Structure 1
Amino acid sequence: MNTYIEVDPGIELYVEDSGSGDPIVFIPGFTFTTEVFSEQVKHFSKTRRTIVIDPRSHGRSTMTVHGNDYVTHGTDLQKVLKQLNVINPTLVGWSFGCLTVWEYIRQFGTGDIKSLVLIDMPPKSLSLHEDQDWVEGPLDDMAAAYTNYLRNLKGQRDFISAYATGVMVQRELKQEELTWIVEQSLKTPYYIAANLFSSGLFSDYRVEASESSATVPTLYVVAEHWAVTATPYINKLAPKASVEVLGGHLMFWEHSEKFNEMVEWFLKRII
């Protein structure tokens, strides 16, 4: 079932809802859409109620100049789950989608969450202690991305293209694959992408990441290029969480079978 959920007057989120059983909810990252989770939908909808969401100003959801921040995205998620009568879900966030999950926890707690899967995102994006903390990247690099790229359509296209080839996947992308990835992002206008980028970079959800993992079964899946830094960081911040390492930033797309097996193994452990 494909549907639209109104989260504010005139603002609708596109949602795909398929399968039946224990619910699992996928939230894509910065400017990306439900389509990146196509292999997860095929797999998990066979045994679970599987929901994927285009966040506000992403994909087929309403483009709006209002609420393009992760505080609002967390509220939006709660409204979608409530309207769909989703009870005790596993929440799966990828990249900045993890911020939506942590913001949901900040606002509404963990009492109605069965488990968490957090894909390749530190709970605090920036740090002055880059040699010790897991971060999105050096402060100067992130500032340059915002200043030099997310100021026009070409800049956004160049930024996502470079990120896709350099960070998201480990193999050489076919031209049609790269075009598809970039087009996913460009569905969000560059001036909205800039708002989301800055909101994400200035977020700090270390408290939520730490406290939620103490009470809710939590799996982190991190990219191989982060593993040396990310694994000890997570083990210290969220010692009860499980950590798996796989591929690049888009590992659930490039290595979908391995990723799905990891998540299945995690979910079966907590039944």
Structure 2
Amino acid sequence: MKIGGIKLNVEESGVGQPLVMLHGLTGNIESMRAEIDFFGRSFRVIALDSRGHGRSDKPAAYTLQDHIEDVLGVLDALALPSVFLMGSSMGSYVAQGVAAQQPARVSKLVLITPKASGQTSSSARLLAQHAAELEGKSPPEVQAFLMAKIFAPTTSGVVKASLAEFAQQQAEAGLTLTPEQTLAANRALEGFDFRPALPGVTAQTLLVSGRHDPLNPPAEGEVIAQLIPNARLEVLEHSGHVPNLEEPERLHRLILDFLLS
């Protein structure tokens, strides 16, 4: 789709109530494949590669507001007056912006591993905290370090290996972001704060945090839950920042029950 002057890769599957799905930083539609398949049995799933990611255009610079306007542009192009909206990590920031700026467009909101504000992306903050030990490391080594940090202590080696395998598949498919593209993606998340606007969100809202998430811990979800009227926070006790891999059945059931209620 041509939205806001750039091409966005958008995928649709299933029928029924529209459910728009937004991925995390440096992710893409493929990182949501299990969720697309699962929720596509019950809803009309609309998933998109955010600008700068996946198979969408990759401008040299863009902002979080651009991400928000891209989603609204997709809703307009598909003539969708109101949707269910689900976002993970960076996708949860975009989803908050959409629901806060145009409340009538979102009837149910799902925010997975969210935060409401930040001076940098959460991954950039974590890497900055470990700058000394990462000095001189190559981009793949830095990425491997980050991937090792985001799981719960009890997460199995099989799950961790699945993420490493996915990263290899992304590289082979040409979907891994270059260092310059990664920098642009991180810069888009600098200095945002939705907290003043969240009380105006009218969507029924479910938040899901991982107990051991070092990037967006449950305290960040609690902030949002206190600001959005009647929002509910669920904490997954055996998850870090990737509950879709660490506790997929629990995550999917929580979200499905909420969306069908």
TM range (shorter): 0.7 to 0.9
Name the structure 1 match of 2:230: 240
By how many angstroms is 1:100 displaced? Answer: 1.4
Q: Give the Cα separation in 1 of the matches to 2:182 and 2:77.
A: 27
| 1:218 correspondence with 2:205 | yes
Asked whether the equivalents of residues 52 and 185 of structure 2 are also in contact (C-alpha less than 8 Å), the reply is no
Identity of aligned residues (%): 24
Aligned match for 1:162, one of 127, 130, 145: 145
For normalisation by structure 2, the TM-score amounts to 0.82
Question: Given the superposition, is the C-alpha separation of residues 16 and 137 from structure 1 closer, same or farther in structure 2, using an over 3 Å criterion?
Answer: closer
Name the structure 1 match of 2:25: 30
Aligned match for 1:118, one of 102, 105, 111: 111
| 1:8 correspondence with 2:4 | yes
Q: Give the Cα separation in 2 of the matches to 1:118 and 1:228.
A: 12
One-letter amino acid matched to 1:104: V
For normalisation by structure 1, the TM-score amounts to 0.80
One-letter amino acid matched to 1:95: S
Name the structure 2 match of 1:131: none
Asked whether the equivalents of residues 23 and 90 of structure 1 are also in contact (C-alpha less than 8 Å), the reply is yes
| 1:84 correspondence with 2:68 | no
Question: Given the superposition, is the C-alpha separation of residues 264 and 158 from structure 1 closer, same or farther in structure 2, using an over 3 Å criterion?
Answer: same
Aligned match for 1:171, one of 156, 163, 166: 156
Q: Mean alpha-carbon deviation: is it higher for 186-195 or for 174-183?
A: 174-183
Asked whether the equivalents of residues 59 and 184 of structure 1 are also in contact (C-alpha less than 8 Å), the reply is no
Q: Give the Cα separation in 2 of the matches to 1:62 and 1:228.
A: 33
Q: Give the Cα separation in 1 of the matches to 2:13 and 2:131.
A: 37
| 1:255 correspondence with 2:247 | yes
Q: Give the Cα separation in 1 of the matches to 2:82 and 2:57.
A: 27
Q: Give the Cα separation in 1 of the matches to 2:223 and 2:35.
A: 27
Q: Give the Cα separation in 1 of the matches to 2:91 and 2:26.
A: 10
Aligned length: 250
Q: Give the Cα separation in 1 of the matches to 2:38 and 2:252.
A: 7
By how many angstroms is 1:52 displaced? Answer: 1.0
Q: Give the Cα separation in 2 of the matches to 1:257 and 1:166.
A: 22
Q: Give the Cα separation in 2 of the matches to 1:89 and 1:73.
A: 17
Asked whether the equivalents of residues 110 and 216 of structure 1 are also in contact (C-alpha less than 8 Å), the reply is yes
Question: Given the superposition, is the C-alpha separation of residues 163 and 22 from structure 1 closer, same or farther in structure 2, using an over 3 Å criterion?
Answer: same
Q: Give the Cα separation in 2 of the matches to 1:255 and 1:220.
A: 15
Q: Give the Cα separation in 2 of the matches to 1:192 and 1:153.
A: 18
Asked whether the equivalents of residues 68 and 97 of structure 2 are also in contact (C-alpha less than 8 Å), the reply is yes
Aligned match for 1:51, one of 46, 50, 61: 46
One-letter amino acid matched to 1:7: I
Name the structure 1 match of 2:219: 229
By how many angstroms is 1:268 displaced? Answer: 2.2
Q: Give the Cα separation in 1 of the matches to 2:106 and 2:99.
A: 9
One-letter amino acid matched to 1:238: I
Gaps of 5+ in 2: none
**For residues 241-264 of structure 1, what are the alpha-carbon distances to aligned partners after superposition, in whole Å with 9 as ceiling and x for unaligned?**
111112221112332221110001
| 1:191 correspondence with 2:180 | yes
Q: Give the Cα separation in 2 of the matches to 1:179 and 1:158.
A: 15
Name the structure 2 match of 1:21: 16
One-letter amino acid matched to 2:94: T
| 1:267 correspondence with 2:259 | yes
Asked whether the equivalents of residues 218 and 235 of structure 2 are also in contact (C-alpha less than 8 Å), the reply is no
